[in-house]
Each structure stands twice: as structure tokens, then as C-alpha cells.
Amino acid sequence: MGVRSAATGAWSGYAGDALYTVLVVALVVAAAPRLRPVVAAGIALGFSCAVELFQLTGVPAALAARSRLAPLVLGTSFHAPDLLRYAVGAAAGWAVHAGLRRRARRSDAAGGG
């Protein structure tokens, strides 16, 4: 939401979609920290795509008419290119999670934790 409020143009929408999935990766990892990075990213990608496909039903648009929170979480209309942007976000989330895990393992192996 910060990117969309601070930036303008198409870039803000692309970044917002990818960062949505990065947030979902972070929430998945917070809920299940022992998950492998690829699994956490896969769950986040699946969730993000499911939300996007749910928009085809029209239910999110109807909820958005009655709630300020609904469009932020569920969106309002299906946009196929968003699926690719979610994949980019999942890849970024995977990369960060995997990198942090490697770093923690090295620190543990060196006696730092």
C-alpha cells in the first residue's frame, strides 16, 4: 500500500502486486518458521493466485462496496498479468527467506547462536 500511495504510474501497481505476495510469504514464515523457503513461497503464490481468481466471482467487488478493508485484501477485479507479478513476489520472498536461512545456519555453525 505504501508503494501505491508514494509512487505513481504502472510501476507502483506492479510493485504493489509483487510486494503483496512478499507479505504473504512473510506471514507464512511467521506462522510456520520451519517451512522450507520454496514451500513458503509456493503457499504464498497459491494464496495470491487464489485471491486473484476469486475476483472472477464478483464477490470481492461486492464486498468492496461495503468495506474499506476488503479491496485492500481481496482486490476488486481480475487482472491476468497480476498472476505473473505474484510469481515475481514469491520468487523475491523465497530468495530473502533462503538467504536469511543460510545466514542463520552459518552463524550457528560458527558458534554465533
Q: Is the pLDDT of residue 58 over 90?
A: yes
Percent of the chain having pLDDT more than 70?
A: 88
- Count CA atoms within 13 Å of residue 5 on its CB side: 3
What are the grid coordinates assigned to 84, written together?
505473473
- CB proximity list for 17: less than 8 A, separation 6 or greater: 82, 85, 86, 89
Number of structural domains in the chain: 1
Query: Model confidence over 3-15: pLDDT tens digits?
Result: 555 666 666 678 8
Q: What is the model's pTM?
A: 0.84
Q: Is the pLDDT of residue 47 over 90?
A: yes
Structural domain harbouring 99: 2-109
What are the grid coordinates assigned to 37, written together?
523457503
Query: Model confidence over 13-38: pLDDT tens digits?
Result: 788 889 999 999 999 999 999 999 99
